[in-house]
Amino acid sequence: MPTTDHVVDKRAFQEWVHAHTGDLLRYAKSRVREEDVAEDLVQLAFIAAWEGRKKFAQQSSPRTWLFSILKNKIADHWRKAYRDPVVHGLEPVDAAFFTGDDRWAPGHIPVEWGLDGPDQEEQMQRFLADCLQQLPTHWRAAVEMKYLKEKNAEAICQELGITATNYWQQVHRAKVQLRECISSKMTKNHH
Amino acid sequence: MHTLLLSCRKAAALIERRSFAPLPAGLSVQLWMHTRICAGCKAFQHQSEVIDTLLEQRGNGVDAVSTAPLEQRIITAINDKN
């Protein structure tokens, strides 16, 4: 195929691979469970970018364009995981965190974290990463879909085949669980 | 503690629901009242915001990962495609 000035040629594309793989992989690794899946998604994103290179037409930076393709690949991944009937087991509910009359149960009452210092953010990110790995798959899928941003809630519900209420409730339960998990790691860390 | 009939469980759920769509005015006021009075739910609200920020900032770190083998795989895959 003859290349023209406005079409990305193979040489330029290889430079993109060298320049952006690190950032794309870091992003993907923080958003899926397994490292090899993250690598596959980055590779799929580059292949899709190469195949769709005519559409790039310099309208945005390569980085922005590659990230938007990667986000779509991550969304595809979680949509598939969400629909996989195998992963839908018994889901934990937030009932454990509340008393019969819906107050916070003893031992689960949120207490301010008292965050200070910039080094704490890194630690919090580590705690979060650990706690995300412990979420049931379809809760994790709901959370990941929410934070991929590009898509609005309505579109996500359609893709996952759930109602808006079901969707935000799953994100909510996931976050209650995450908060509890992070809190317990912080408490352990202080002792 | 009644806090205008909003339970902690419901308040916590509304804190998340609000991030998807604006709450009806009545609920919004109830939630505001509840979190003014209830320290647990106030802390929950703060922490929910902290978790949102952390979730958004994931993967922005600068930890070096060796990506040379992956880069090579990608380039090979693209060469196969022409």
Name the residue ranges covered by the structural domains of chain B: 1-60
Q: In Å, how far is A69's CA from the nearest CA of chain B?
A: 15
Distance from CA of A15 to the nearest CA of B (A): 10
Flag if B61 and A176 touch (Cβ within 8 Å): no
- pLDDT surpassing 50 at residue B62: yes
Q: What is the pLDDT of residue A3?
A: 44
Specify the pLDDT at position B18.
92
pLDDT band at B4 (very low <50, low <70, confident <90, very high): low
pLDDT digits (tens, 9 = 90+) for B16-54: 999 888 999 999 999 999 999 999 999 999 999 999 999
Residue B59: which of A13, A31, A104 has the nearest Cβ?
A31
Q: pLDDT value at position A91? A: 56
Give the pair of three-digit tokens for residue A137. Answer: 């798959």
Q: For position B55, what pLDDT does the model report? A: 94
ipTM entry: 0.85
Res. B59 pLDDT band, cuts 50 70 90? confident
Most A CBs within 10 A among B1, B6, B67, hence the mutation to make, goes to B67
Closest residue, chain A, to B19 (C-alpha):
A168
CB of B5 within 8 Å of any CB in chain A?
Answer: no
Buried b (16+ CB within 10 A) or exposed e, A20-55: bbbbbbbbbbbbbeeeebbbbbbbbbbbebbeebee
Contact with chain B for residue A171, Cβ under 8 A: yes
Look at A84 and B79; give whichever has higher pLDDT: B79
pLDDT (tens, 9 = 90+) of chain A, 191 residues, equals: 444 445 678 999 999 999 999 999 999 999 999 999 999 999 999 999 999 988 887 678 999 999 999 999 999 999 888 877 555 445 556 778 898 889 999 999 999 998 777 778 889 999 999 999 999 888 899 999 988 866 678 888 888 888 888 888 899 999 999 999 999 999 887 76
Q: Give the chain B residue nearest A95 (alpha carbons).
A: B9
| Residue A101 to residue A180: CA distance in whole angstroms | 20
Assess whether pLDDT exceeds 80 at residue B3. Answer: no
pLDDT at position B24: 94
Taking the C-alpha atoms of residue A117 and residue A153, their distance in angstroms, rounded to an integer, is 34
